[in-house]
Structure 1
Amino acid sequence: MILSPHTDDGELGCGGSIAKFVEDEIEVYYAALSSCERSVPENYPKNILKKEVLEATEILGISKENVLLYDFEVRKFPTFRQEILDSLIKIRREISPDVVFTPSSYDTHQDHKVTREETLRAFKGCTILGYEQPWNNLTFDTTAFIPLDKRHIERKIRALMRYKSQAERPYFDGKFIESLAKTRGVQINAEYAEVFEVIRWIIR
């Protein structure tokens, strides 16, 4: 289960891993809690991110039936904390994921912080991994790595390219995405990797 506070966070944090999971025939679900309509650039329709996230997750191999979209207002998650928790509990009951990916404990964005905190409440019986987003992290706990091949990173970059409304953001740059994955790969003697904070590890 990939929990994305806003459309695109899940792909940015673990898009390469998603591509690998799908390739390994692991069923992947993706939930975006906000499509950020209040912060969409003026030259795009307000619902553009809903369209882009479906295109991006399809490239990664997630079926449309496994993509859940919510409409919590961007930058206002603290106001909707209980409603977000209720939504996550419903996801847990209906999907029963083994592993949940969520923003890390070091993420400074207010919406990401609420998502991570409510993830802990809703998914107490699951392994929880926090994904890396350097532009929001003051530091990071590199305690879990997923080794990746070049094709996984290439698919991640292709998926992120579907977010034309976000193309001006520097962290959508393909060279940055590849260099970060290569850096993490070097740390474990792999070609590429994505790194995660171990928030909760359930050994079964």
Structure 2
Amino acid sequence: MNANNILVLAPHTDDGELGLGGTISKFISEGRKVTYVAFSTAEESVPEGFPKDILKTEVRNATAKLGILPENLIIYSYQVRKLNYVRQEILEELILLKKSQKFDLVFIPSLHDIHQDHTTIAQEGVRAFKNTTILGYELIWNNLTFNTQCFITLGEKDVQRKILALKEYQSQGQRDYLSAEFIYSLAKARGVQVGVEYAEAFEVVRLFI
């Protein structure tokens, strides 16, 4: 894929790592630039015993594990589950980001994702970057359906880095989708679909050749 400047739009901290952590690791190891934008740190949902801003720390540590440079991490503090109330503000921020540099490839949540925050970021991402190649990533617990139209092959190290990144989210507890077993299983399943050991799958929203 001929894309050297890549943008990842994550409604919440950890969505980008879950949806394409292996791909981010691969791209950075190939010398490509990856910018990661998180729109909510979900302070209202942080469990008791953790600082309210713990997810800011965790996303910094997690993205660093994947190789993302600190200056390429953008964190907003929109209220969790209410991104749809500020969709115009989000769109304007995305347009400013688009004007600041030329991205070759943008990753958004799947357009079939039913989480209200994910839907907002996916839709506004398409509006802002309609003239850019866009791929939708899967978070299978939120997808009623998902079209596996694009596959990015991964190496063992990419899957391992994805797992190490997700381990930084201590505040999220022992959720099934954060487990090493699940990450390996999904990467293996997507790999089987295309005859490789590991892969991540994406929906093609827009493709420019």
TM-score by length of 1: 0.98
Shift of 1:101: 0.3
- Tell me, in whole angstroms, the C-alpha distance in 1 between the residues paired with 2:175 and 2:121: 22
**Which one of the candidate residues 94, 106, 126 is aligned to 1:120?**
126
Shift of 1:124: 1.2
**Which one of the candidate residues 5, 9, 13 is aligned to 2:11?**
5
Are 1:106 and 2:112 an aligned pair? Answer: yes
Matched residue SS, 1:202: coil
Asked whether the 8 Å contact 1:161–1:167 carries over to 2, the reply is no
After TM superposition, the structure 1 = structure 2 runs for residues 15-30 of structure 1, keeping only pairs within 5 Å, are 15-30=21-36
**Which one of the candidate residues 156, 167, 179 is aligned to 1:173?**
179
- Once the two structures are superposed, residues 27-77 of structure 1 have per-residue CA deviations (whole angstroms, 9 ceiling, x without a partner) of 110000111111111111000000000000001000000000001110001
Matched residue SS, 1:71: coil
Shift of 1:95: 2.5
Residue of structure 1 equivalent to 2:68 = 62
**Which one of the candidate residues 128, 132, 144 is aligned to 1:138?**
144
Residue of structure 2 equivalent to 1:182 = 188
**Which one of the candidate residues 37, 42, 49 is aligned to 2:48?**
42
- Once the two structures are superposed, residues 147-185 of structure 1 have per-residue CA deviations (whole angstroms, 9 ceiling, x without a partner) of 001110000000000000113221101100110000000
Matched residue SS, 2:200: strand
Shift of 1:20: 0.2
Residue of structure 2 equivalent to 1:51 = 57
Asked whether the 8 Å contact 1:98–1:127 carries over to 2, the reply is yes
Matched residue SS, 1:62: coil
User: Which runs of 5 or more structure 1 residues have no equivalent in the other structure?
Assistant: none
Residue of structure 1 equivalent to 2:103 = 97
Are 1:202 and 2:208 an aligned pair? Answer: yes
Shift of 1:78: 1.0
Asked whether the 8 Å contact 1:147–1:190 carries over to 2, the reply is yes
- Once the two structures are superposed, residues 88-116 of structure 1 have per-residue CA deviations (whole angstroms, 9 ceiling, x without a partner) of 11111113211000100110000000000
Code of the residue aligned with 1:147 in structure 2: it is: T
TM-score by length of 2: 0.96
How many residues align? The count is 203
Q: Percent identity of the aligned residues?
A: 54
Code of the residue aligned with 1:158 in structure 2: it is: L
- Tell me, in whole angstroms, the C-alpha distance in 1 between the residues paired with 2:13 and 2:95: 20
Asked whether the 8 Å contact 1:49–1:163 carries over to 2, the reply is yes
- Tell me, in whole angstroms, the C-alpha distance in 1 between the residues paired with 2:17 and 2:153: 16
Residue of structure 2 equivalent to 1:76 = 82
Matched residue SS, 2:194: coil
Matched residue SS, 1:80: helix
Matched residue SS, 2:135: strand
Task: Report the aligned-residue RMSD.
Answer: 0.6
- Tell me, in whole angstroms, the C-alpha distance in 2 between the residues paired with 1:172 and 1:95: 33
User: Which runs of 5 or more structure 2 residues have no equivalent in the other structure?
Assistant: 1-6
- Tell me, in whole angstroms, the C-alpha distance in 1 between the residues paired with 2:173 and 2:185: 18
